[in-house]
Amino acid sequence: MAKKLDLERILSKQGFGTRKQCRIMIINEEVTVNGDLCDDPSATFELENLKFTVKGEAWDYREKSYLMLHKPSNYECSHKTQHHPTIYSLLPHPLVVRDVQCIGRLDEDTTGLILISDDGQFIHRMSSPKHKVPKVYEVTCKHKVSDEQIAHILKGVQLIDEDAPIAALACERISENVIHMTLAEGKYHQVKRMVAAISNRVEALKRIQIGELKLPDDLKVGEWKWLSEGDMLLLNAK
């Protein structure tokens, strides 16, 4: 049997405020459901394929939120920032109210693909070291990258405070100063420290892929989008 809820509870679960606040919006005729105006907070609706608008903005009902964001530079992946704006300021307020969390933080000066969700199991699966989800980074180095340096990264470099050398899963030269490095871990400043260990320096860093999911060419810096079914399949591909 399809699950049904009353409208004020639906809106509250989707992050549009307390039940009282949602009730007021409904009574004030600020909500439509499946194309029709509804001013009854107690009206019940099936959740499957439910579409609604709040103050003219269209939404689909989603039990859980799964998003991707093209992170800009000089943004922090934290709700409590220290020096820069939070990436959560780039999202609609209802999603922030739902307490979505980024999966694996990027440094404030690092750009690129970041996943965001309020599904704890999904967050754990994508971030837990035991699942070893690969991430690909586009690394712009200060100096030319030699074949010997790439070989060193693939063999493993010794980092301070690490017991054993750490190797990239893959490392491909794109141009004289740009490489694509694939890692399964997420250690502190790992890419920067690995590049420093081969006597070079990171000038710019961008995450371009997580698992089999690539950062879309049409997702502009600072923009976000819902993950599609196809995106989720790419993330779950082994």
Rounded to whole angstroms, the Cα distance separating 66 from 68 reads 7
Active-site residue (options: 36, 39, 40, 107):
107
CB atoms within 10 A of CB 61: 18
Q: What are phi and psi of 125, to 5 degrees?
A: -65, -35
- Is the CB of residue 56 less than 8 Å from the CB of residue 35? no
Query: For the chain, what's the residue count?
Result: 238
Q: Where are any strands of DSSP class E within the chain? A: 4-6, 31-33, 36-37, 44-46, 51-54, 57-60, 66-71, 101-103, 111-117, 135-141, 170-173, 178-183, 202-210, 213-214, 224-226
Contacts of 94 (CB under 8 A, 6+ apart): 14, 15, 16, 59
Q: Is 218 a catalytic residue?
A: no
Which residues belong to the active site?
107
